[in-house]
Structure 1
Amino acid sequence: MTSLSLIDVRKSYGATPVLDGVTLEMGDCEFIAFLGPSGSGKSTLLRIIAGLEMADSGEVWLEGKRIDALAPGGRGVALVFQQYALYPHMTVRENMAFGLRNAKVPNTEIAARITQAAQTLEIDQLLDRKPGQLSGGQRQRVAIGRAIVKEPKLFLLDEPLSNLDAALRNRTRVELAQLRQRVRAAVIMVTHDQAEAMTLADRIVVMNDRKIQQVGAPMEIYDRPANRFVARFVGSPAMTILPAQGHAASGGYAQVQLKNGTLIQTRVSTADLPDDGEIEIGLRPEHVTVTAPGSGTIDGEAVIVERLGDRTLVYARLDDGSEIVAVDRGDSSVRMGVRVGLQIDGACAHLFDADGTCHHAERDQL
């Protein structure tokens, strides 16, 4: 069953376009993350769904009902703001009850909904405190609780973890993932943090330049990006993309040549590639491993060594000035400034044509 449908949604502020024909179908009880850089249009799209902004054109449907002409309170959605927006003079209980009282919900029903939501969020012991007496994570849960008691058809979360410090953000992300199992509803979350999107979402909507660039499951987005932007934006560290001098066929697959003449055998079918034009090769860090100088595919100089405990990331500069990220053991002995060999797994490489379209290795080759 389709929960939300966006049809050719467009929005401009004066002469500045913000959304350019966004179309999306969201499934019943699906968790979707709008992921993209600042200015990509993701928050504006969320506000259009909530009714806080009006689209210039297009349609918004929720569970078979067109809602883009309805007032925010009549849409059946609940928005959790980035800044929590709690009333400081009210207790947690009063904050959660405020919207329900305005909607003339009976007091007994309000009390029952607050009790259930507080137990779900494990904030029942905080109901008589005021926001100033709560931690950032507790205030975030209260803001979510205020949305839950409305029993909406769709939850909208606008950068819900961005105000938390790193440790609290990680813990609250786990709590949101657990909460998702207890609250049966569709959720859209806006974020620029790919870890949040990859951890929480059933599907990720990657946005940039006013448009949807790709929609897919987290690992589909990571393993099979649609274009150069998605490939670079999703993944930490970002995918290395190197210019190549062209490609030739070898057993039906493309063999590309780097600037220094090094040949990389890929598993990308030549049938998918243009006959001529620019070609770039994309490599995830885990597909480039550190070896002794002269024993790998290519050599470079280690310019940054990032030790992460279970693995070491080596940022290497090739002789032509290009940079590439490789993975070594956690106890790597590599130091900055030394020469290293780099073994490239060409079977996992991606190729990009002149317009940025990504061509992948055939699935049975991965």
Structure 2
Amino acid sequence: MSDREFIAFLGPSGSGKSTLLRIIAGLEIADAGEVVLDGRRIDQLHPGARDVAMVFQAYALYPHMTVRENMAFGLRNARVPQNEIDARIAQAAAVLEIESQLDKKPAQMSGGQRQRVAIGRAIVKHPKLFLFDEPLSNLDAALRTRTRVELAQLRRRVDAAIIMVTHDQAEAMTLADRIVVMNDRRIQQIGAPMDIYTRPANSFVARFVGSPAMTLLPAALVPGEGPARVRLGDGTEVTTRIDRAALPSGPVELGLRPEHVRVAASGEGACEAEVLLVERLGDRTLVYAKLSDGQEITAEDAGLSAVKLGDRVRLRIDGAAAHLFDCNGDGHHAQVMDSAA
């Protein structure tokens, strides 16, 4: 990663993201590989000598100490001069807007304020790398959103790179320069947020990144050359912008984001489906439906949609934006081609 870059480790529980973070911090020992920071190998160093600072999910503040004492504790152990400690605490408190909280103890503070103190305790160390382990998971929804904004502002004020572990894709998509998607202790994809959203490397990433998840429908390739054409279980055929020659033989799955499946006017659209659920979000309506072969699909409609549970609707599929996943789960995506879609 580069200087001041913000990386998010994203994945479900048990995927290995927190373990990887703890290996970088020196709290776990790796079975293989090296950890290198700023050109220097650090995995053989004591955690306190690695020039990293970790913010834990549960804050890990000393309850008997004031905010000031919590922030000073690590610096005193490192024998930093008192005048330097005072200066660093004052600077961090100003950045985090907790100057008025310095003489309070954690029990006297809200969850959001305690989170800021935990971040402040990391800031005063002037590390080269910040490590955040699920920093917002203990906050309620409203406070999580406000703290997400504060983290976005914080990254502009500190001269260090940041790695954050999260299972919340909204946090990763909002804050990170790049996302490392993990599953089953393996890295599935690394890329910029919208690259991962628009070009998922495999079917796991396609399902995991995006809310609601991408619809994946079993499909068969229709023989031919040029843009790949697939036939769904209900007989619907969809022409993509994916080069047929780039696909291996065998069954495929057609991947569709909800915004690329629209409720069509009566008599229009590629296929018919029965509405299972209508989710009204104000500016748009999500329609969860079932095709005639039993496969479920998610579509979008206007915010003032008249669609209701049990309706039969026609759906218009944007094949130009479709994805295909082969029998190994590997993703294939639209290319710029001369042939018409």
TM-score per shorter chain, which class?
over 0.9
Cα distance in 2 between the residues matched to 1:118 and 1:331: 47
Residue 364 of structure 1: how far off its partner (Å): 7.2
Of 14, 24, 40 in structure 2, the residue corresponding to residue 49 of structure 1 is 24
Paired residue type of 1:268:
I
Of 169, 172, 185 in structure 2, the residue corresponding to residue 210 of structure 1 is 185
Residue 166 of structure 1: how far off its partner (Å): 0.8
SS in 1 for 2:29: coil
Q: Percent identity?
A: 72
Paired residue type of 1:103:
A
* Structure 2 unmatched runs, 5+: none
Residue 67 of structure 1: how far off its partner (Å): 0.8
Deviations 1:182-211 (A, max 9, x none): 112100000000000000000000011221
CA gap of 1:363–1:112, structure 2 versus 1, over 3 A, is farther
The answer on 1:255 being equivalent to 2:234 is no
* Structure 1 unmatched runs, 5+: 1-25
Which residue pairs with 2:167 in the alignment? 192
Residue 27 of structure 1: how far off its partner (Å): 1.5
Which residue pairs with 2:331 in the alignment? 358
Contact 1:293 1:339 in 2 (8 A): no
Paired residue type of 1:267:
R
The answer on 1:286 being equivalent to 2:259 is yes
Cα distance in 2 between the residues matched to 1:151 and 1:164: 26
| TM-score, length-scaled by structure 1 | 0.91
Cα distance in 1 between the residues matched to 2:160 and 2:122: 12
The answer on 1:181 being equivalent to 2:153 is no
Of 303, 308, 328 in structure 1, the residue corresponding to residue 301 of structure 2 is 328
Cα distance in 2 between the residues matched to 1:248 and 1:349: 18
Q: How does 1:20-59 map to 2 (within 5 A)?
A: 26-59=1-34
Contact 1:302 1:317 in 2 (8 A): yes
SS in 1 for 2:238: strand
CA gap of 1:67–1:166, structure 2 versus 1, over 3 A, is same
Deviations 1:263-303 (A, max 9, x none): 101000112101x2011100000000012343111110111
| TM-score, length-scaled by structure 2 | 0.97
Contact 2:6 2:162 in 1 (8 A): yes
Deviations 1:99-141 (A, max 9, x none): 1011111000000000000101111111111111111111111
The answer on 1:316 being equivalent to 2:289 is yes
Contact 2:221 2:228 in 1 (8 A): no
The answer on 1:145 being equivalent to 2:120 is yes
Residue 363 of structure 1: how far off its partner (Å): 5.0
Cα distance in 2 between the residues matched to 1:249 and 1:76: 58
Cα distance in 2 between the residues matched to 1:130 and 1:307: 44
SS in 2 for 1:58: coil
Residue 335 of structure 1: how far off its partner (Å): 0.5
The answer on 1:159 being equivalent to 2:113 is no
Cα distance in 2 between the residues matched to 1:218 and 1:307: 26
Which residue pairs with 2:56 in the alignment? 81
Aligned length: 339
SS in 2 for 1:241: strand
Cα distance in 2 between the residues matched to 1:81 and 1:247: 52
The answer on 1:106 being equivalent to 2:58 is no
Cα distance in 1 between the residues matched to 2:190 and 2:78: 36
CA gap of 1:363–1:93, structure 2 versus 1, over 3 A, is farther
The answer on 1:272 being equivalent to 2:242 is no
Which residue pairs with 1:296 in the alignment? 269
Cα distance in 1 between the residues matched to 2:224 and 2:45: 57
Which residue pairs with 1:341 in the alignment? 314
CA gap of 1:44–1:123, structure 2 versus 1, over 3 A, is same
Paired residue type of 1:45:
L
Question: What RMSD in Å do the two structures reach over aligned CA positions?
Answer: 1.3
Cα distance in 2 between the residues matched to 1:111 and 1:364: 62
Contact 1:155 1:188 in 2 (8 A): yes
